[in-house]
Amino acid sequence: MPKQIRDEQRRQDLVEAARRLVAAHGLRATTLRAVAAEAGVTTGAVTHYFEDKGAVLDAVLRHNNALALARTEKAVGRLRGLTAAHRHALALLPTGAEGMAIWRVWLAFWVEADAPSGLTTGWDEWRRSLGALLAQAVADGELPGTTDLRYEAERIGTLIAGIGLVYGTARTSRQGPSRRGKRLLDDHFTALTAMAPAP
């Protein structure tokens, strides 16, 4: 039977507390008792909103995906085409405290054998939106009409996943890894720009 939600803000506070724990300590350490302690409530308060640990973790992953999507949407704004695609990709790099937290949460789920489908669903949505921006680049003449958009979105996504894997767990010297990851992505988009058809 679904839980009755009386206070959406309290539920969101619990999700945020659980997300902090996942980012800092991983999934196994994120118990209902630990979430309660992190949020400053009783374990009963957690179980009022969530049936079990799995429900908490599903909510954490959905929230983390939403934060990543919000970062990309804010970065793109009203831009379109290749510039928008570049900003879209850059926004997903593990930069700043929030970007690092997003990646630590994703990596915590990735290491689990039976990670929830929300992990791949969020990633697929991100690649589809990137593909739409690349399609605009083709329509605007920034990329050749023969560009395999699905492959290119997959290639950029794989590059970002690699950057996230390498730099998303860095605990020190954050500026250096951030710069290196950005340079890798910038180099790729510079190569894409060179593919533009001759006027």
Of residues 115 and 180, more confidently modeled: 180
> Is the per-residue pLDDT at 1 higher than 60?
no
pLDDT in tens, 48-79: 999 999 999 999 999 999 999 999 999 999 99
pLDDT at residue 95, as a whole number: 87
Tokens of 100: 């690092």
- The string of pLDDT tens digits covering residues 77-91 is 999 999 999 999 999
**Cα(161)–Cα(177) distance, integer angstroms:** 14
Residue pair 30/56 in contact by the 8 Å Cβ criterion: yes
pTM: 0.87
Mean per-residue pLDDT of the chain: 89
Average the pLDDT over 25-38 and give the result: 96
User: Where are the alpha helices (H) located in 40-145, listed in sequence order?
Assistant: 43-49, 53-76, 81-90, 96-110, 117-139
**Ranges of each domain in the chain:** 8-194
Q: How far apart are CA 79 and CA 115, in angstroms?
A: 34
Per-residue pLDDT band for 118 (boundaries 50, 70, 90) equals confident
Provide mean pLDDT across the span 82-103: 93
Q: Are 82 and 189 in contact (CB under 8 A)?
A: yes
**Non-local CB neighbours of 27 within 8 Å, separated by 6+ positions:** 57, 108, 109, 112
Enter the CATH code of domain 8-194: 1.10.357.10
pLDDT in tens, 136-166: 999 999 999 999 999 999 999 999 999 988 8
Q: What percent of the chain lies above the pLDDT cut of 70?
A: 90
